[in-house]
């Protein structure tokens, strides 16, 4: 569990620090036995299905960026200093890191994005920058010095760097982290981490959809649900035909079209938000089963004692709606269920394993639930637990 600073707990952290101000947790995870070497991290970056990058540079010459997968020779030939390896979604590839994510479950789990682990050679960094999301920085190995500017006067980017590096950075605070320390940074805090020795840092980042992304997701649903709701100009007059000029009347019609769907109702915004925050990277989507399946087969296997679990890379969430229905989300898709299916939806999202009893205990229609589980199996969001496996949970 997390060791909070004196006088602080999760509730006070949420009330006073979350999305407001940085916080340094000295010895938050001590004693710390880090389960990964820099060589193992480099090996992970050589795998085709793993997202990885190498950043090289400094404040004098700017930064360059290379994308993986990498070859072993890339690391053999790497210089002794001035570079950083970053590997995304580590908890989805290495199950031993999933419990680390659970330490921060006082934040809604559907907000969690991934665990990134970075190895920095001496002097290695990604430059001073600003993130648009919350992050917990955990020191795994070595030491790292973080320079912070909580209120940057101007946010502008260097033109000589492939990374989004700040052109002006005036740090006002300095924090040095050692293994087991945690540094929380809310969005908008300018920061720059650099070390004099080889170091490994873990970053737990949180999804924060922009207004534009949410509107785009809602727009996609609108096109599905109301494909005939389009701009029209019946009754337009000749005076509007003035070359390529868009008339005031045309602008008013476009505005009226949007007013027809604003505010976004009928659960459309609920559905758009859930699909957006559970959307997965294409290369992380689990492989679909080779053999086709159907609800009867699912029912038979569960009846025989087999169990299901979330795929390691799957993203799930659910929402209880005021109209008596429940929305279940998985990997960017959604299903609307009767309120009686709420316990089953929660189990699919949160339980380490789902067996026949989970369905039998639900007041929902079992046939509908078997159909739902079949759909989730077919898109790779659920998987069967093998006889020789335990029922360990999956990441959020």
Residue 301 is part of a domain; what is its CATH number?
3.40.366.30
Asked if pLDDT for residue 1 goes beyond 90, the answer is no
Q: Are residues 100 and 198 in the same domain?
A: yes
**Neighbouring residues of 297: CB distance < 8 A, sequence distance ≥ 6:** 374
Q: Is residue 186 in some structural domain?
A: yes
Supply the pLDDT for residue 290. 64
Q: Are residues 64 and 195 in the same domain?
A: yes
Q: Is residue 149 in some structural domain?
A: yes
Q: Are residues 251 and 296 in the same domain?
A: no
Asked if pLDDT for residue 394 goes beyond 50, the answer is no
List, in sequence order, every beta strand (DSSP E) within 168-315. 173-177, 182-185, 190-194, 199-206, 308-310
Chain mean pLDDT for the chain: 90
264 or 90, greater pLDDT: 90
Average pLDDT value for residue range 39-51: 96
Q: Report residue 272's pLDDT band, with 50, 70 and 90 as the boundaries.
A: very high
207 or 323, greater pLDDT: 207
CB 381 within 8 A of CB 286: yes
How does DSSP assign 84-96, residue by residue? EEEE--HHHH-GG
Supply the pLDDT for residue 141. 94
Supply the pLDDT for residue 90. 96
Q: Is residue 272 in some structural domain?
A: no
Supply the pLDDT for residue 359. 74
Q: Is residue 395 in some structural domain?
A: no
Q: Are residues 348 and 318 in the same domain?
A: yes
Average pLDDT value for residue range 140-162: 92
390 or 298, greater pLDDT: 298
**Based on the structure, what is the number of domains in the chain?**
3
Average pLDDT value for residue range 223-247: 86
Q: What percent of the chain has pLDDT over 70?
A: 95
Q: Any idea which of 115-124, 148-157, 190-199 has the lowest mean pLDDT?
A: 148-157
Q: Are residues 349 and 369 in the same domain?
A: yes
Which domain, by its residues, includes 218? 211-230+246-266
Q: Are residues 327 and 369 in the same domain?
A: yes
Q: Is residue 29 in some structural domain?
A: yes
Supply the pLDDT for residue 131. 94
Give the predicted TM-score (pTM) of the model: 0.88
**Neighbouring residues of 120: CB distance < 8 A, sequence distance ≥ 6:** 83, 84, 85, 144, 193, 194, 195, 198, 199, 200, 201
Question: Residue 87: which CATH number?
Answer: 2.60.120.650
Supply the pLDDT for residue 395. 39
Q: Are residues 309 and 283 in the same domain?
A: yes
Supply the pLDDT for residue 363. 63
Supply the pLDDT for residue 26. 94
Supply the pLDDT for residue 391. 42
**CA angle, residues 299, 305, 311, in degrees to nearest 5:** 75
Supply the pLDDT for residue 366. 77
Average pLDDT value for residue range 334-354: 89
90 or 242, greater pLDDT: 90
Q: Any idea which of 165-169, 195-199, 284-288 has the lowest mean pLDDT?
A: 284-288
Q: Are residues 302 and 319 in the same domain?
A: yes
Q: Are residues 109 and 252 in the same domain?
A: no
State pLDDT tens for residues 55-114: 999 888 889 999 999 999 999 999 999 999 999 999 999 988 999 999 999 999 999 999
Q: Are residues 146 and 191 in the same domain?
A: yes
Q: Are residues 130 and 159 in the same domain?
A: yes
Only one residue has tokens 């369905």, namely: 359
94 or 394, greater pLDDT: 94
Asked if pLDDT for residue 119 goes beyond 80, the answer is yes
CB 270 within 8 A of CB 327: yes
Q: Are residues 201 and 323 in the same domain?
A: no
Average pLDDT value for residue range 132-149: 96
The sign one gets for the Cα dihedral 157, 161, 165, 170 is negative
Q: Report residue 125's pLDDT band, with 50, 70 and 90 as the boundaries.
A: very high
Q: Is residue 351 in some structural domain?
A: yes
Q: Is residue 113 in some structural domain?
A: yes
Indicate the DSSP class of residue 182: E
Q: Is residue 134 in some structural domain?
A: yes
């Amino acid at each position: 569990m997390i060791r909070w600073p004196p006088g602080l707990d999760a509730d006070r952290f949420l009330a006073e620090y979350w999305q407001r101000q940085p916080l340094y947790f000295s010895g938050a995870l001590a004693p710390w036995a880090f389960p990964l070497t820099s060589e193992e991290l480099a090996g992970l970056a050589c795998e085709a299905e793993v997202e990885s990058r190498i950043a090289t540079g400094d404040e004098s010459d700017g930064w360059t960026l290379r994308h993986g997968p990498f070859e072993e020779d890339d690391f053999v030939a790497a210089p002794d200093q001035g570079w950083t390896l970053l590997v995304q979604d580590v908890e989805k590839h290495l199950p031993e890191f999933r419990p680390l994510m659970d330490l921060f479950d006082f934040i809604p789990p559907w907000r969690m994005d991934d665990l990134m682990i970075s190895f920095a050679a001496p002097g290695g960094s990604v430059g001073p920058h600003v993130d648009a999301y919350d992050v917990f920085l955990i020191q795994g190995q070595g030491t790292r010095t973080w320079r912070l500017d909580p209120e940057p006067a101007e946010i502008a980017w260097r033109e000589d760097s492939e990374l989004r590096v700040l052109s002006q950075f005036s740090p006002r605070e300095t924090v040095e982290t050692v293994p087991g320390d945690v540094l929380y940074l809310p969005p908008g805090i300018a920061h720059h981490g650099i070390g004099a020795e080889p170091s490994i840092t873990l970053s737990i980042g949180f999804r924060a959809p922009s207004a534009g992304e949410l509107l785009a997701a809602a727009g996609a649903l609108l096109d599905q649900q109301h494909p005939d709701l389009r701009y029209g100009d019946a009754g337009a007059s000749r005076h509007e035909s003035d070359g390529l000029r868009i008339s005031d009347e045309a602008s008013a019609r476009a505005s009226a079209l949007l007013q027809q769907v604003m505010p976004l109702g009928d659960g459309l915004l609920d559905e758009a938000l859930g699909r957006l925050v559970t959307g997965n990277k294409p290369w992380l989507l689990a492989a679909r089963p080779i053999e086709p399946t159907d609800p009867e087969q699912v029912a038979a296997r569960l009846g025989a004692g087999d169990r299901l679990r979330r795929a390691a890379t799957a993203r799930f969430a659910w929402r209880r709606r005021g109209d008596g229905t429940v929305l279940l989300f998985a990997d960017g898709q959604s299903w609307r269920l009767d309120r009686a299916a709420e316990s089953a939806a929660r189990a699919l999202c949160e339980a380490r394993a789902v067996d026949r009893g989970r369905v039998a205990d639900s007041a929902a229609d079992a046939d509908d639930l078997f159909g739902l589980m079949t759909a989730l199996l077919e898109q790779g969001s659920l998987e069967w637990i093998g006889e020789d496996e335990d029922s360990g949970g999956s990441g959020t």
